[in-house]
Amino acid sequence: MASAPASTAENVAFPGAISGSVFTEKMTFLSDYPTIATYRVMDSEGAVLVPGSEPQISKDESLKMYKTMVSLNQMDLILYDAQRQGRISFYMTHHGEEATLLGTAAALKADDVFFGQYREAGFMMYRGFSIQQCMHQCYGNENDLGKGRQMPIHYGSKEFNIQTISSPLGPQIPQAAGAAYALKRSGKDACVICFFGDGAASEGDFHAGLNIAATTESPVIFFCRNNGYAISTPSHEQYRGDGIASRGHGYGMHTIRVDGNDILAVYNATQEARRIAVEEHKPVLIEALTYRVGHHSTSDDSSAYRPKAEVSDWMKKDSPINRFRKYLETKGWWSEEEEQALRKACRTEILGAFSAAEKVKKPAVSNLFTDVYDEMPWNLVEQKEKLDKLMKKYPTHFDLAAHAPEKK
């Protein structure tokens, strides 16, 4: 008896099918996928695991990266306490996530455009955004580049290609895709980097932004800092599947998962992602696994949803600052004496900047009406005149002594 002829694979020709899809007579629902590995260069003790895999970063640049990490850490300690004392209204620390910021900042170029979420001050500081400017912004004083219109830690700088932070969760993702498309059309040798957390990846803007970037083939690096918690919601309650990196495949995007506490792995991944984005005009998704040691913000008490022992264990087990320090010490580039001198110098500089910012007056009240239009329209002129009359009529109710005078 002759056997049935073997079925030959037939390509699927429907317009919605990707190239390579074939018909099958076997009904299968896919549910098991290979888990994406996590790329690293160093172990938790700062030892390079594969000789030659570490990036070729000079001693001076390596020390700049490390010193910025320490400076950020010291600034966090001081400003967190300042908020608790009622001297600023709000703050968010970066404890445990410093490597994600300095590894990316060092791997990118000055022309690359930055879109952040709210926990990226270290990136900005590496670019040249000063501690003094951080203090002015947190106080919302007259020297704040944002003129006191934003909450603390909502930094921005045209000089350093830093788009101003937004309070809502996720809008920077489609904005970054649009900015990257503009860079592509301009022919500029630059890309966009967009930071967001695992919680923001649950927003609709995440999917819209990645799809826009993928279909327009725009040079953008989407950098997800997965610290395990969306404020109080742990990752296992946020999503099923293999984290955030697994979503990159669905958008046809180059994707990698890295150890976010390994600054050298973050540097390598970002450097290659930039090459893909700029040279191949393709978006890249990086998921950096890390751990948020601090509370989500000064409005949060993380002990309500995670045990304090979990946090202390992480601090002992894998601090990104300590890991990089051990690496530097192994190379003979750092010592305990230099460490103590650095921390003392950082604290002195930060307290000096803090004290100076505290003495600066608040922005002029007239800034309520400016910077939306090139020329103030009649209705805003009318509103301003009414407010001026009201403040003049009731000076005891509108004490302007703390505000800078209006600039004519």
pLDDT digits (tens, 9 = 90+) for 125-172: 999 999 999 999 999 999 999 999 999 999 999 999 999 999 999 999
Alpha helices (H) along 228-372: 235-238, 246-250, 263-280, 308-317, 320-330, 336-359
- Residue 18 confidence (pLDDT) above 90: no
Look up 305 and say whether it is catalytic.
Answer: yes
Q: What is the pLDDT of residue 3?
A: 52
Look up 295 and say whether it is catalytic.
Answer: no
Q: What is the pLDDT of residue 70?
A: 98
Q: What is the pLDDT of residue 2?
A: 52
Give the mean model confidence (pLDDT) for residues 204-221: 98
Cα 394 to Cα 239: distance, rounded to the nearest angstrom:
55
Contacts of 191 (CB under 8 A, 6+ apart): 108, 112, 113, 180, 183, 219, 220, 221, 274, 277, 278
Work out the mean pLDDT of the chain and round it to a whole number. 95
**pTM over the 0.85 mark:** yes
Q: What is the pLDDT of residue 20?
A: 83
Which of helix, strand or coil describes residue 113? strand
Cα 151 to Cα 387: distance, rounded to the nearest angstrom:
24
Look up 403 and say whether it is catalytic.
Answer: no
pLDDT digits (tens, 9 = 90+) for 381-393: 999 999 999 999 9
Catalytic residue among 136, 257, 292, 295: 292
Catalytic residue among 95, 247, 296, 403: 296
Element at 221 (helix H, strand E): strand 220-226
